[in-house]
Structure 1
Amino acid sequence: MLRAAARSSVGQALCRGLATLPADHTGLLELRQYTMKPEGIKEFLRLTTETVELRKSLLPFLGMFTCDTGGVLNRVVHFYWYRDFDHRDTHRAASGSNAEWQDGYLAHSRRCLSQQESSIFVPTAGVMAAAGAAPVQDFAAPVEQAKKPALYELRQYQLKPGYDGVPKLVAAFQQGIPHKVAADKQGSLVFFGHTEVGMLNSVIELWRYPSAQACHDARKAARGVPEWRDCIAAVTPGVEHFSSSFMQPCAFSPMQ
Protein backbone atom coordinates (compact mmCIF):
# COMPACT_ATOMS: atom_id res chain seq x y z
CA MET A 1 0.00 0.00 0.00
CA LEU A 2 2.81 2.41 0.90
CA ARG A 3 4.61 1.79 -2.39
CA ALA A 4 1.36 2.28 -4.31
CA ALA A 5 0.76 5.57 -2.51
CA ALA A 6 4.32 6.67 -3.28
CA ARG A 7 3.90 5.82 -6.96
CA SER A 8 0.63 7.76 -6.98
CA SER A 9 2.32 10.83 -5.46
CA VAL A 10 5.16 10.71 -7.97
CA GLY A 11 2.66 10.29 -10.79
CA GLN A 12 0.79 13.36 -9.60
CA ALA A 13 4.04 15.34 -9.51
CA LEU A 14 4.88 14.22 -13.04
CA CYS A 15 1.41 15.20 -14.25
CA ARG A 16 1.85 18.63 -12.71
CA GLY A 17 5.17 18.89 -14.52
CA LEU A 18 3.70 17.89 -17.86
CA ALA A 19 0.93 20.42 -17.40
CA THR A 20 3.58 23.15 -17.07
CA LEU A 21 5.07 23.46 -20.53
CA PRO A 22 8.86 23.87 -20.53
CA ALA A 23 8.39 26.75 -22.98
CA ASP A 24 6.96 28.79 -20.07
CA HIS A 25 10.28 28.48 -18.23
CA THR A 26 12.09 31.00 -20.40
CA GLY A 27 13.96 34.26 -20.04
CA LEU A 28 16.75 35.27 -17.70
CA LEU A 29 16.89 35.53 -13.93
CA GLU A 30 19.28 38.10 -12.52
CA LEU A 31 20.57 37.33 -9.03
CA ARG A 32 22.03 40.35 -7.27
CA GLN A 33 23.83 39.90 -3.96
CA TYR A 34 24.83 42.99 -1.99
CA THR A 35 27.11 42.78 1.01
CA MET A 36 26.48 45.59 3.49
CA LYS A 37 28.67 47.38 5.91
CA PRO A 38 27.53 46.02 9.30
CA GLU A 39 26.19 49.44 10.25
CA GLY A 40 24.55 49.99 6.85
CA ILE A 41 21.90 47.30 6.46
CA LYS A 42 19.17 49.07 8.44
CA GLU A 43 19.63 52.28 6.47
CA PHE A 44 19.70 50.39 3.17
CA LEU A 45 16.44 48.64 3.99
CA ARG A 46 14.85 51.92 5.11
CA LEU A 47 15.77 53.64 1.84
CA THR A 48 14.71 50.62 -0.21
CA THR A 49 11.35 50.40 1.57
CA GLU A 50 10.64 54.06 0.87
CA THR A 51 11.39 53.71 -2.85
CA VAL A 52 10.06 50.22 -3.58
CA GLU A 53 7.23 51.47 -5.81
CA LEU A 54 9.78 53.31 -7.96
CA ARG A 55 11.84 50.09 -8.20
CA LYS A 56 8.75 48.17 -9.31
CA SER A 57 7.94 50.78 -11.96
CA LEU A 58 11.45 50.71 -13.43
CA LEU A 59 12.53 47.07 -13.11
CA PRO A 60 10.87 43.60 -13.32
CA PHE A 61 11.42 43.09 -9.60
CA LEU A 62 10.63 39.63 -8.19
CA GLY A 63 11.83 39.70 -4.62
CA MET A 64 14.34 40.86 -2.02
CA PHE A 65 15.61 38.89 0.96
CA THR A 66 17.91 39.20 3.95
CA CYS A 67 20.16 36.33 4.97
CA ASP A 68 19.20 34.65 8.24
CA THR A 69 21.94 32.01 8.29
CA GLY A 70 24.30 30.31 5.87
CA GLY A 71 27.04 32.53 4.48
CA VAL A 72 27.54 36.27 4.80
CA LEU A 73 24.89 37.68 7.14
CA ASN A 74 25.06 41.37 6.23
CA ARG A 75 23.71 40.49 2.81
CA VAL A 76 20.68 41.38 0.72
CA VAL A 77 19.70 39.10 -2.17
CA HIS A 78 17.30 40.22 -4.90
CA PHE A 79 15.93 38.78 -8.13
CA TYR A 80 14.75 40.21 -11.47
CA TRP A 81 13.29 38.44 -14.49
CA TYR A 82 13.90 39.51 -18.11
CA ARG A 83 12.63 38.07 -21.38
CA ASP A 84 16.12 38.42 -22.89
CA PHE A 85 19.17 40.69 -22.76
CA ASP A 86 17.47 43.34 -24.90
CA HIS A 87 14.67 43.49 -22.35
CA ARG A 88 17.26 43.91 -19.60
CA ASP A 89 19.07 46.65 -21.52
CA THR A 90 15.79 48.55 -21.95
CA HIS A 91 15.02 48.47 -18.24
CA ARG A 92 18.58 49.31 -17.24
CA ALA A 93 18.57 52.30 -19.58
CA ALA A 94 15.26 53.52 -18.13
CA SER A 95 16.53 53.28 -14.55
CA GLY A 96 19.85 54.85 -15.55
CA SER A 97 18.10 57.94 -16.88
CA ASN A 98 15.68 58.32 -13.97
CA ALA A 99 16.87 61.15 -11.75
CA GLU A 100 14.82 60.07 -8.74
CA TRP A 101 16.32 56.59 -8.91
CA GLN A 102 19.89 57.73 -9.54
CA ASP A 103 20.12 60.78 -7.29
CA GLY A 104 17.40 60.09 -4.77
CA TYR A 105 17.99 56.38 -4.12
CA LEU A 106 21.25 54.96 -5.51
CA ALA A 107 23.42 57.88 -4.45
CA HIS A 108 22.35 57.34 -0.83
CA SER A 109 21.95 53.56 -0.70
CA ARG A 110 25.39 52.87 -2.18
CA ARG A 111 26.96 54.36 0.92
CA CYS A 112 25.63 51.36 2.85
CA LEU A 113 27.36 48.79 0.61
CA SER A 114 30.78 47.18 0.67
CA GLN A 115 30.32 44.87 -2.33
CA GLN A 116 27.87 44.21 -5.18
CA GLU A 117 27.62 41.03 -7.25
CA SER A 118 25.38 40.20 -10.21
CA SER A 119 24.88 36.91 -12.07
CA ILE A 120 22.49 35.90 -14.84
CA PHE A 121 20.84 32.47 -14.78
CA VAL A 122 18.90 30.57 -17.42
CA PRO A 123 15.96 28.54 -16.09
CA THR A 124 16.34 24.79 -16.50
CA ALA A 125 12.97 24.04 -18.06
CA GLY A 126 13.08 20.27 -17.71
CA VAL A 127 13.74 20.30 -13.97
CA MET A 128 11.16 23.00 -13.30
CA ALA A 129 8.54 21.13 -15.30
CA ALA A 130 9.41 17.79 -13.66
CA ALA A 131 8.86 19.42 -10.27
CA GLY A 132 5.51 20.84 -11.35
CA ALA A 133 6.83 24.35 -10.67
CA ALA A 134 5.39 27.51 -12.15
CA PRO A 135 7.69 29.80 -14.15
CA VAL A 136 9.63 31.96 -11.71
CA GLN A 137 8.07 35.15 -13.08
CA ASP A 138 4.63 33.73 -12.20
CA PHE A 139 5.48 32.24 -8.82
CA ALA A 140 2.94 32.65 -6.03
CA ALA A 141 2.97 31.10 -2.58
CA PRO A 142 0.54 28.24 -1.99
CA VAL A 143 -2.86 29.60 -0.97
CA GLU A 144 -2.77 27.95 2.44
CA GLN A 145 0.63 29.55 3.17
CA ALA A 146 0.27 32.90 1.43
CA LYS A 147 -0.50 35.02 4.51
CA LYS A 148 1.92 33.27 6.85
CA PRO A 149 5.65 33.90 7.44
CA ALA A 150 7.96 32.16 5.00
CA LEU A 151 11.56 31.10 4.66
CA TYR A 152 13.40 30.78 1.35
CA GLU A 153 16.35 28.47 0.89
CA LEU A 154 18.94 29.37 -1.76
CA ARG A 155 21.13 26.40 -2.73
CA GLN A 156 24.17 27.11 -4.88
CA TYR A 157 26.27 24.42 -6.59
CA GLN A 158 29.65 25.03 -8.16
CA LEU A 159 30.43 22.29 -10.67
CA LYS A 160 33.80 21.19 -11.96
CA PRO A 161 34.99 22.85 -15.19
CA GLY A 162 33.86 21.27 -18.43
CA TYR A 163 30.95 21.19 -20.83
CA ASP A 164 29.21 18.12 -19.49
CA GLY A 165 28.79 19.08 -15.83
CA VAL A 166 25.53 21.01 -16.11
CA PRO A 167 23.84 18.56 -18.55
CA LYS A 168 24.68 15.61 -16.29
CA LEU A 169 23.31 17.35 -13.21
CA VAL A 170 20.16 18.44 -15.04
CA ALA A 171 19.51 14.91 -16.33
CA ALA A 172 19.84 13.47 -12.82
CA PHE A 173 17.58 16.11 -11.28
CA GLN A 174 14.90 15.61 -13.91
CA GLN A 175 14.73 11.97 -12.88
CA GLY A 176 14.95 12.53 -9.15
CA ILE A 177 13.08 15.72 -8.38
CA PRO A 178 9.52 14.37 -8.84
CA HIS A 179 10.29 11.89 -6.04
CA LYS A 180 11.67 14.64 -3.80
CA VAL A 181 8.58 16.77 -4.43
CA ALA A 182 6.31 13.82 -3.67
CA ALA A 183 8.04 13.37 -0.29
CA ASP A 184 7.97 17.09 0.56
CA LYS A 185 4.48 18.31 1.46
CA GLN A 186 5.42 21.87 2.45
CA GLY A 187 8.15 23.09 0.10
CA SER A 188 7.73 24.84 -3.27
CA LEU A 189 10.43 25.01 -5.93
CA VAL A 190 10.66 28.64 -7.06
CA PHE A 191 13.60 28.44 -9.47
CA PHE A 192 16.21 26.04 -10.81
CA GLY A 193 18.78 27.23 -13.31
CA HIS A 194 22.41 27.57 -14.37
CA THR A 195 24.66 30.54 -15.06
CA GLU A 196 24.77 32.36 -18.35
CA VAL A 197 26.89 35.24 -17.02
CA GLY A 198 28.96 35.12 -13.85
CA MET A 199 30.79 32.17 -12.30
CA LEU A 200 30.15 29.56 -14.99
CA ASN A 201 29.11 25.98 -14.24
CA SER A 202 27.06 27.27 -11.32
CA VAL A 203 23.57 25.99 -10.57
CA ILE A 204 21.07 27.44 -8.11
CA GLU A 205 17.87 26.18 -6.52
CA LEU A 206 15.43 28.49 -4.75
CA TRP A 207 12.80 26.88 -2.50
CA ARG A 208 10.05 28.35 -0.35
CA TYR A 209 9.08 26.79 2.99
CA PRO A 210 6.74 27.90 5.78
CA SER A 211 9.65 27.67 8.25
CA ALA A 212 13.24 26.58 8.74
CA GLN A 213 12.01 23.46 10.50
CA ALA A 214 9.85 22.58 7.49
CA CYS A 215 12.96 22.80 5.30
CA HIS A 216 14.88 20.58 7.72
CA ASP A 217 12.03 18.06 7.77
CA ALA A 218 11.90 18.06 3.95
CA ARG A 219 15.60 17.21 3.77
CA LYS A 220 15.16 14.29 6.15
CA ALA A 221 12.19 13.01 4.17
CA ALA A 222 14.07 13.26 0.86
CA ARG A 223 17.02 11.29 2.24
CA GLY A 224 14.71 8.35 2.70
CA VAL A 225 13.65 8.29 -0.96
CA PRO A 226 15.81 5.86 -3.01
CA GLU A 227 15.31 7.73 -6.29
CA TRP A 228 16.45 11.00 -4.69
CA ARG A 229 19.48 9.32 -3.12
CA ASP A 230 20.35 7.98 -6.58
CA CYS A 231 20.08 11.51 -7.97
CA ILE A 232 22.45 12.96 -5.39
CA ALA A 233 24.89 10.07 -5.86
CA ALA A 234 24.93 10.78 -9.59
CA VAL A 235 25.65 14.52 -9.28
CA THR A 236 28.03 14.59 -6.29
CA PRO A 237 31.20 13.57 -8.22
CA GLY A 238 30.82 16.58 -10.49
CA VAL A 239 30.30 19.14 -7.71
CA GLU A 240 33.26 21.08 -6.30
CA HIS A 241 31.26 22.67 -3.50
CA PHE A 242 27.76 23.81 -2.67
CA SER A 243 26.15 26.05 -0.10
CA SER A 244 22.76 26.65 1.46
CA SER A 245 21.39 29.92 2.80
CA PHE A 246 18.17 30.57 4.71
CA MET A 247 16.65 33.88 3.70
CA GLN A 248 13.66 35.90 4.85
CA PRO A 249 11.67 38.04 2.43
CA CYS A 250 11.66 41.77 3.09
CA ALA A 251 8.26 43.21 3.97
CA PHE A 252 8.03 44.95 0.58
CA SER A 253 9.19 41.94 -1.47
CA PRO A 254 6.69 40.74 -4.12
CA MET A 255 7.75 37.18 -3.26
CA GLN A 256 6.48 36.39 0.24
Structure 2
Amino acid sequence: MKLAAENAALRSKLLPFLGMFTCDTGGDLNEVTHFYHYKDLEQREAVRAAAAKDAQWQAFIDASRPHVAKQESRIMVESAAVYEALGKPGAAAFRSPPQTLPNNPVYEYRQYQLHPGYGSVPKLLAAFADGLPEKVAADRDGLLVAFAHSDVGVLNNVVELWRYPSAAACIKARVSARAVQKWRDTIAAVTPGVQQFQTSLLHPTAFSPWR
Protein backbone atom coordinates (compact mmCIF):
# COMPACT_ATOMS: atom_id res chain seq x y z
CA MET A 1 0.00 0.00 0.00
CA LYS A 2 2.95 2.30 0.62
CA LEU A 3 4.13 1.75 -2.94
CA ALA A 4 0.59 2.25 -4.29
CA ALA A 5 0.26 5.52 -2.37
CA GLU A 6 3.59 6.78 -3.69
CA ASN A 7 2.44 6.07 -7.25
CA ALA A 8 -1.20 7.13 -6.89
CA ALA A 9 -0.84 10.21 -9.06
CA LEU A 10 0.82 8.17 -11.79
CA ARG A 11 -1.98 5.58 -11.65
CA SER A 12 -4.60 8.30 -12.14
CA LYS A 13 -2.57 9.80 -14.98
CA LEU A 14 -2.18 6.56 -16.91
CA LEU A 15 -5.41 4.70 -16.09
CA PRO A 16 -9.13 5.58 -15.72
CA PHE A 17 -8.82 4.93 -11.98
CA LEU A 18 -12.03 5.07 -9.91
CA GLY A 19 -11.24 3.62 -6.50
CA MET A 20 -9.07 1.39 -4.34
CA PHE A 21 -10.17 -0.36 -1.17
CA THR A 22 -9.00 -2.68 1.58
CA CYS A 23 -11.31 -5.26 3.11
CA ASP A 24 -12.48 -4.64 6.67
CA THR A 25 -14.70 -7.70 7.09
CA GLY A 26 -16.83 -10.11 5.09
CA GLY A 27 -14.10 -11.20 2.67
CA ASP A 28 -10.46 -12.14 2.37
CA LEU A 29 -8.37 -9.91 4.63
CA ASN A 30 -5.15 -8.35 3.34
CA GLU A 31 -6.95 -8.05 0.01
CA VAL A 32 -6.99 -4.89 -2.11
CA THR A 33 -9.78 -4.21 -4.62
CA HIS A 34 -9.56 -1.53 -7.27
CA PHE A 35 -11.91 -0.31 -9.99
CA TYR A 36 -11.42 1.24 -13.42
CA HIS A 37 -13.85 2.41 -16.08
CA TYR A 38 -13.35 1.84 -19.80
CA LYS A 39 -15.89 2.82 -22.44
CA ASP A 40 -15.01 -0.32 -24.43
CA LEU A 41 -12.40 -3.06 -24.82
CA GLU A 42 -10.52 -1.06 -27.44
CA GLN A 43 -9.92 1.74 -24.95
CA ARG A 44 -8.84 -0.77 -22.32
CA GLU A 45 -6.27 -2.31 -24.65
CA ALA A 46 -4.92 1.07 -25.72
CA VAL A 47 -4.64 2.44 -22.19
CA ARG A 48 -2.96 -0.68 -20.82
CA ALA A 49 -0.54 -0.80 -23.74
CA ALA A 50 0.47 2.81 -23.11
CA ALA A 51 0.93 2.14 -19.39
CA ALA A 52 3.14 -0.85 -20.16
CA LYS A 53 5.54 1.48 -21.95
CA ASP A 54 5.84 3.87 -19.00
CA ALA A 55 9.11 3.21 -17.19
CA GLN A 56 7.95 4.61 -13.85
CA TRP A 57 4.81 2.46 -13.92
CA GLN A 58 6.77 -0.65 -14.76
CA ALA A 59 9.16 0.09 -11.91
CA PHE A 60 6.16 0.25 -9.55
CA ILE A 61 4.80 -3.05 -10.89
CA ASP A 62 8.17 -4.74 -10.45
CA ALA A 63 8.56 -3.39 -6.90
CA SER A 64 5.05 -4.38 -5.82
CA ARG A 65 4.96 -7.84 -7.39
CA PRO A 66 6.80 -9.61 -4.50
CA HIS A 67 4.02 -8.48 -2.13
CA VAL A 68 1.23 -10.05 -4.20
CA ALA A 69 0.16 -13.60 -3.39
CA LYS A 70 -2.78 -13.72 -5.82
CA GLN A 71 -4.27 -11.44 -8.44
CA GLU A 72 -7.64 -11.59 -10.22
CA SER A 73 -9.10 -9.40 -12.95
CA ARG A 74 -12.71 -9.21 -14.15
CA ILE A 75 -14.53 -7.20 -16.78
CA MET A 76 -17.99 -6.07 -15.70
CA VAL A 77 -20.82 -4.56 -17.74
CA GLU A 78 -22.93 -1.95 -15.98
CA SER A 79 -26.72 -2.26 -15.86
CA ALA A 80 -28.30 0.67 -17.67
CA ALA A 81 -31.78 -0.48 -16.59
CA VAL A 82 -30.91 -0.28 -12.89
CA TYR A 83 -29.25 3.11 -13.26
CA GLU A 84 -32.23 4.43 -15.21
CA ALA A 85 -34.69 3.16 -12.60
CA LEU A 86 -32.77 4.99 -9.87
CA GLY A 87 -31.92 8.08 -11.90
CA LYS A 88 -28.19 7.39 -11.53
CA PRO A 89 -25.55 8.16 -14.17
CA GLY A 90 -23.26 5.17 -13.63
CA ALA A 91 -19.98 4.41 -11.88
CA ALA A 92 -17.73 6.76 -13.86
CA ALA A 93 -19.87 9.74 -12.88
CA PHE A 94 -20.10 8.91 -9.17
CA ARG A 95 -18.60 11.55 -6.90
CA SER A 96 -18.12 11.02 -3.18
CA PRO A 97 -19.90 13.56 -0.97
CA PRO A 98 -17.78 16.19 0.82
CA GLN A 99 -15.81 14.86 3.76
CA THR A 100 -17.10 15.73 7.21
CA LEU A 101 -15.73 14.92 10.64
CA PRO A 102 -16.04 12.45 12.21
CA ASN A 103 -15.96 10.55 8.95
CA ASN A 104 -15.26 6.85 8.43
CA PRO A 105 -17.15 5.82 5.29
CA VAL A 106 -17.50 2.20 4.23
CA TYR A 107 -18.36 0.71 0.88
CA GLU A 108 -20.55 -2.36 0.89
CA TYR A 109 -19.56 -4.75 -1.89
CA ARG A 110 -22.40 -7.17 -2.62
CA GLN A 111 -21.88 -10.15 -4.93
CA TYR A 112 -24.48 -12.57 -6.28
CA GLN A 113 -23.40 -15.76 -8.00
CA LEU A 114 -26.30 -16.90 -10.18
CA HIS A 115 -27.10 -20.25 -11.78
CA PRO A 116 -25.55 -20.96 -15.20
CA GLY A 117 -27.58 -20.05 -18.27
CA TYR A 118 -28.45 -17.00 -20.32
CA GLY A 119 -31.58 -16.04 -18.39
CA SER A 120 -30.21 -15.69 -14.85
CA VAL A 121 -28.67 -12.24 -15.14
CA PRO A 122 -31.47 -10.55 -17.16
CA LYS A 123 -34.06 -11.83 -14.68
CA LEU A 124 -32.19 -10.43 -11.68
CA LEU A 125 -31.51 -7.09 -13.37
CA ALA A 126 -35.17 -6.66 -14.31
CA ALA A 127 -36.30 -7.52 -10.78
CA PHE A 128 -33.82 -5.11 -9.20
CA ALA A 129 -34.73 -2.30 -11.59
CA ASP A 130 -38.32 -2.76 -10.44
CA GLY A 131 -37.67 -3.14 -6.70
CA LEU A 132 -34.63 -1.02 -5.90
CA PRO A 133 -36.34 2.40 -6.08
CA GLU A 134 -38.53 1.61 -3.06
CA LYS A 135 -35.56 0.14 -1.17
CA VAL A 136 -33.54 3.30 -1.85
CA ALA A 137 -36.46 5.48 -0.75
CA ALA A 138 -36.25 3.85 2.68
CA ASP A 139 -32.48 4.36 2.94
CA ARG A 140 -31.35 7.94 3.56
CA ASP A 141 -27.66 7.17 3.89
CA GLY A 142 -26.77 4.70 1.13
CA LEU A 143 -25.42 5.87 -2.24
CA LEU A 144 -25.28 3.48 -5.17
CA VAL A 145 -21.82 3.61 -6.71
CA ALA A 146 -21.94 0.76 -9.24
CA PHE A 147 -24.20 -2.07 -10.39
CA ALA A 148 -22.84 -4.52 -12.96
CA HIS A 149 -22.56 -8.12 -14.09
CA SER A 150 -19.54 -10.10 -15.21
CA ASP A 151 -18.60 -10.34 -18.88
CA VAL A 152 -15.11 -11.83 -18.45
CA GLY A 153 -14.21 -13.95 -15.42
CA VAL A 154 -16.68 -16.02 -13.41
CA LEU A 155 -19.87 -15.54 -15.40
CA ASN A 156 -23.38 -14.88 -14.07
CA ASN A 157 -21.87 -12.83 -11.27
CA VAL A 158 -23.70 -9.62 -10.32
CA VAL A 159 -22.16 -6.97 -8.07
CA GLU A 160 -23.41 -3.90 -6.26
CA LEU A 161 -21.21 -1.25 -4.64
CA TRP A 162 -22.83 1.13 -2.12
CA ARG A 163 -21.31 3.93 -0.05
CA TYR A 164 -22.35 4.54 3.56
CA PRO A 165 -21.09 7.09 6.07
CA SER A 166 -20.32 4.27 8.51
CA ALA A 167 -20.63 0.52 9.03
CA ALA A 168 -23.50 1.14 11.46
CA ALA A 169 -25.38 3.09 8.77
CA CYS A 170 -24.92 0.18 6.38
CA ILE A 171 -26.46 -2.31 8.80
CA LYS A 172 -29.27 0.12 9.64
CA ALA A 173 -30.09 0.43 5.95
CA ARG A 174 -30.23 -3.33 5.57
CA VAL A 175 -32.68 -3.59 8.46
CA SER A 176 -34.82 -0.81 6.98
CA ALA A 177 -34.91 -2.56 3.61
CA ARG A 178 -36.40 -5.68 5.17
CA ALA A 179 -39.49 -3.69 6.09
CA VAL A 180 -40.13 -2.62 2.47
CA GLN A 181 -42.62 -5.09 1.02
CA LYS A 182 -41.69 -4.33 -2.58
CA TRP A 183 -38.07 -5.14 -1.82
CA ARG A 184 -39.03 -8.31 0.03
CA ASP A 185 -40.96 -9.39 -3.08
CA THR A 186 -37.91 -8.62 -5.22
CA ILE A 187 -35.62 -10.77 -3.09
CA ALA A 188 -38.17 -13.58 -3.06
CA ALA A 189 -38.30 -13.46 -6.86
CA VAL A 190 -34.53 -13.63 -7.42
CA THR A 191 -33.46 -15.94 -4.57
CA PRO A 192 -34.20 -19.21 -6.45
CA GLY A 193 -31.68 -18.17 -9.09
CA VAL A 194 -28.89 -17.29 -6.65
CA GLN A 195 -26.26 -19.90 -5.80
CA GLN A 196 -24.27 -17.73 -3.39
CA PHE A 197 -24.49 -14.24 -1.93
CA GLN A 198 -21.63 -12.44 -0.21
CA THR A 199 -21.33 -8.97 1.24
CA SER A 200 -18.09 -7.29 2.29
CA LEU A 201 -17.32 -3.98 3.96
CA LEU A 202 -14.45 -2.09 2.32
CA HIS A 203 -12.48 0.98 3.37
CA PRO A 204 -11.25 3.41 0.71
CA THR A 205 -7.54 4.12 0.68
CA ALA A 206 -6.34 7.65 1.37
CA PHE A 207 -5.59 8.17 -2.33
CA SER A 208 -8.78 6.58 -3.72
CA PRO A 209 -10.86 8.93 -5.94
CA TRP A 210 -13.93 7.24 -4.47
CA ARG A 211 -13.79 8.23 -0.77
For Structure 1 versus Structure 2, the TM-score category normalised by the shorter chain is over 0.9
Report the counterpart of residue 141 of structure 2 in structure 1: 186
* Separation of aligned partners in 2, 1:90 and 1:196: 19
Q: How does 1:217-256 map to 2 (within 5 A)?
A: 217-256=172-211
- 1:79-138 deviation line (CA, Å, top 9, x unaligned): 000010010001100111111111x20101011000000001000011122123232111
Larger gyration radius, structure 1 or structure 2: 1
* Separation of aligned partners in 2, 1:111 and 1:147: 36
Q: Which of 136, 139, 150 does residue 91 from structure 2 map onto? A: 136
Q: Which of 204, 216, 236 does residue 171 from structure 2 map onto? A: 216
Report the counterpart of residue 199 of structure 1 in structure 2: 154
Q: 1:83 to 1:145 in 2, by over 3 A?
A: farther
Q: What stretches of structure 1 move > 4 A for 4+ residues in a row?
A: 143-147
Report how many residues are paired: 211
- So what's the TM-score if we normalise by structure 1? 0.80
* Separation of aligned partners in 2, 1:233 and 1:86: 39
* Separation of aligned partners in 2, 1:255 and 1:196: 23
- Cα drift, residue 63 of structure 1: 0.5
Q: Secondary structure at the match of 2:207?
A: coil
Q: How does 1:1-256 map to 2 (within 5 A)?
A: 45-102=1-58, 104-143=59-98, 148-256=103-211
Gapped runs of 5+ residues in structure 1? Answer: 1-44
Q: RMSD of the TM alignment (CA)?
A: 1.4
Q: 1:129 to 1:143 in 2, by over 3 A?
A: farther
Partner amino acid, structure 2, of 1:128: Y
CA contact (8 A) 1:176 1:227 kept: yes
Q: Secondary structure at the match of 1:114?
A: coil
% identity of equivalent residues: 54
Q: 1:157 to 1:145 in 2, by over 3 A?
A: farther
* Separation of aligned partners in 1, 2:63 and 2:116: 39
Partner amino acid, structure 1, of 2:175: K
Partner amino acid, structure 1, of 2:41: F
Q: 1:125 to 1:134 in 2, by over 3 A?
A: same
Q: 1:49 to 1:143 in 2, by over 3 A?
A: closer
* Separation of aligned partners in 2, 1:79 and 1:182: 27
* Separation of aligned partners in 2, 1:232 and 1:195: 20
Q: Secondary structure at the match of 1:116?
A: coil
- Cα drift, residue 49 of structure 1: 0.5
* Separation of aligned partners in 1, 2:54 and 2:102: 34
The structure with the greater share of residues assigned to helix is 1
Gapped runs of 5+ residues in structure 2? Answer: none
